[in-house]
Amino acid sequence: SWPDGATTPFRSEKATNWEGAFRIPELIRWPGRIKAGAVSNEIVQHHDWLPTFVAAAGDPDIVDKLKAGHKAGADG
């Protein structure tokens, strides 16, 4: 049932230790790297994709900016 329908047929949902917390649908398109129609049952960590996507969008210094941190209210 909603909102846990996306984890079917796995047990439970996010914020648990059951498989439904980790195995959720994800679509990835990467021409030349991932064959069309390929299926993987591997667990993927996607937190590290942010720097890749931001750099691809035109900000090659994103890693340095993330390492420097953010100060609320700071100029620049």
From 28, 32, 8, 29, select the one nearest 18 (Cα to Cα). 8
pLDDT at 26: 79
pLDDT at 10: 73
Q: Average pLDDT by consecutive 10-residue portion of the chain (76 residues)?
A: 60 77 78 92 77 88 84 63
Residue 24 · residue 7 · CB < 8 Å: yes
Contacts of 4 (CB under 8 A, 6+ apart): 12, 13, 20
Q: Which two tokens stand for residue 44?
A: 């993927």
User: Is the whole-model pTM more than 0.75?
Assistant: no
9-22 pLDDT per residue, tens: 777 777 788 877 77
